[in-house]
Amino acid sequence: MHKGEVWWADLPKPTGRRPVLVLTRDEAVRVRSYVTVAELTTNIRRIPTEVLLKKEDGLPKECVVNVDVINTIPKELLVEFIVRLGDEKMQAVEKALKFALDLN
């Protein structure tokens, strides 16, 4: 499990099974039992807090990383690896996070 990977997560109700992007840095992933993730959704609004992902990125269909929905969850809820995002997409996620959290 590494930063930039997309996993299926079995999240508590009412959310349920959903793909998530691991945001926690690798050094912390190795030693912590919790990771911070952003949810993926097919509800695309084309706003600055979303990063568009397509089939070319390794996802089954077009969706977005929604950094307005960030959670810290137990690693054991990540049940199936999907894909690791490339550097360009992770830079876009970083930009979206800065916007969402109003960081300069």
Tell me the two tokens of residue 8: 């299926």
At a CB cut-off of 8 Å and minimum separation 6, what does 101 contact? Answer: none
Is it true that domain 5-100 has CATH number 3.20.20.140? no
pLDDT at 86: 95
Q: Give 65-92 pLDDT, tens digit per residue.
A: 999 999 999 999 999 999 999 999 999 9
Domain locations in the chain? Answer: 5-100
Q: Give 41-64 pLDDT, tens digit per residue.
A: 999 999 999 999 999 999 989 999
Task: Give per-residue burial for 3-40: e unless 16+ CB within 10 Å, then b.
Answer: bbbbbbbebeeeeeeebbbbbbeeeebeeeeebbbbbb
Beta carbons of 79 and 66 less than 8 angstroms apart: no
| Nearest residue to 97 via CA among 55, 41, 56, 36 | 36
pLDDT at 12: 87
